[in-house]
Amino acid sequence: MIYLDHAATTPVPREVADAMYTVLTEQFGNPSSQYEMGLSMKRRVEQWRATVAGALGCESAQLYFTSCGTEGDNWAIQAALWQNRKVGRHIVTTSVEHNAVLECCKWLEKQDYTVTLVDPDENGDITAERILDAVRPDTALVSVMMVNNELGNVYPVAEIAKGLAARNPKTLLHTDAVQGFLKIPFKAKTLGADFITISAHKVGGPKGIGALYIGSRVRNVKPLLPGGGQERGGRSGTEATAQIAGFAKAVEVRCRDLDASLSHMAEIKAYAIEKLTAIDDLRLVGRGTAPHILSVSLAGWPSQNIVNDLSSQGICISAGSACHQGKASHVVAALKLSRREAGGTIRLSFGPETTREEIDACAEALRAHHDRRMPML
């Protein structure tokens, strides 16, 4: 199998699975239990928290484990609106956020919040200025992702944070960094965002575990799940110890050769661009500079047919457009491409394991698809 869909999820290295297995079978205590196995798990969870916090560039006390990136996004938005309930009911975000943010905002609109969606330009870029122009005196929250998951475009979160301090210092800033963590260099402490969402399964960790950074401007953190008081009362529910262990181990493994693996991904992406753009009718979509995501369009050839054809040859890529779990992609739609280009958009995404030979095989399969079939769009 050739796996070129690392933005969807990533393989778990053996070391990570082993760390989880030990916790599941031997160190299975509940961190709230008062005997030694429980107490030692409590200490271990704090060590694992320190590992993830270290990689994110924050204090352990600022990092809360969640069940996934989606939970982190929802929690951040709701906690920000709670803190700023006297500031107003206006939210600024972008039309190309992950659905974890967009669908949460749609629910909020039903509860009388007003949401301004800032569109990208035709390259997928969004300037800090465009975001700041949408901020009003009653803006409680700005939520802008760090790296777009379909295009790989990197958004200017630090610049937005600086601008917000002048425009409306009360407005809180959230960034969904699920595709940015360990891909784009940043430190939570200096980024200027009040909330940062991350997720383990995009960096070689297991599915079902993420974390939310909450900065010092957020007082009285509103819990998303009130209950037994775990995660310092912020997020109740017995700690998912095996997943947390796997998250920390994945971070440790990735950070061991982070610079080398990021340069490797960037090199693979450059190689893929060279190979793919040699195919007739294929063009780049967006101006993604993240090292691991490449969006292209085989204009005229429906993306779901391409994905199915490659899948039948054991090559995993994703449809960036027409068929995104059966729905058209809101990200591709926001670029206002022609119908043929939008309908033919696919995404390739890379990991530290991706090889040039895999890119060669994918490029060959795409060329054959192009030459064998008539355009249908």
Q: Which of 51, 199, 303, 349: binder of ligand PLP (CB under 6 A)?
A: 199
69 belongs to the binding site for ligand PLP (CB under 6 A): yes
297 belongs to the binding site for ligand PLP (CB under 6 A): no
- Pairwise CA distance, residues 52 & 80, whole Å: 23
Least separation, in Å, of the C-beta of 310 and ligand PLP?
20
In the chain, DSSP finds a helix count (H) and a strand count (E) of: 13, 13
358 belongs to the binding site for ligand PLP (CB under 6 A): no
126 belongs to the binding site for ligand PLP (CB under 6 A): no
Q: Which of 309, 278, 283, 312 is nearest to 298 (CA)?
A: 283
- For residue 156, CA distances in Å to 77, 175, 280, 359, 371 come to 19, 10, 34, 30, 40
Which tokens hold the place of 19? 């760390």
Least separation, in Å, of the C-beta of 98 and ligand PLP?
3
Residue among 69 and 291 whose Cβ is closer to ligand PLP? 69
- Pairwise CA distance, residues 99 & 111, whole Å: 18
Which tokens hold the place of 372? 């064998």
Site for ligand PLP in 169-188 (CB under 6 A): 176, 178-179
Number of residues binding to ligand PLP, judged by CB under 6 A: 13
Segment lying near ligand PLP (by CB under 6 A), choices 46-54, 62-70, 217-225, 366-374: 62-70
74 belongs to the binding site for ligand PLP (CB under 6 A): no
Site for ligand PLP in 203-222 (CB under 6 A): 210
323 included as an active-site residue: yes
Of the residues 58, 104, 105, 323, which is catalytic? 323
Contacts of 334 (CB under 8 A, 6+ apart): 95, 96, 119, 120
- Pairwise CA distance, residues 144 & 201, whole Å: 21
Q: Residue with CB nearest ligand PLP?
A: 69
DSSP states of 78-147: HHHHHHTTTT-SEEEEETTS-HHHHHHHHHHHHTT-EEEEEPP-TTS---HHHHHHT--TTEEEEE--SB
- Pairwise CA distance, residues 94 & 115, whole Å: 10
- The sign of the torsion formed by the CA atoms of 62, 66, 69, 75 equals negative
223 belongs to the binding site for ligand PLP (CB under 6 A): no
Least separation, in Å, of the C-beta of 9 and ligand PLP?
8
Least separation, in Å, of the C-beta of 138 and ligand PLP?
26
100 belongs to the binding site for ligand PLP (CB under 6 A): yes
Segment lying near ligand PLP (by CB under 6 A), choices 68-76, 86-94, 109-117, 152-160: 68-76
Binding site for ligand PLP (CB under 6 A): 68-70, 73, 98, 100, 145, 149, 176, 178-179, 199, 210
Q: Which residues are catalytic?
A: 323
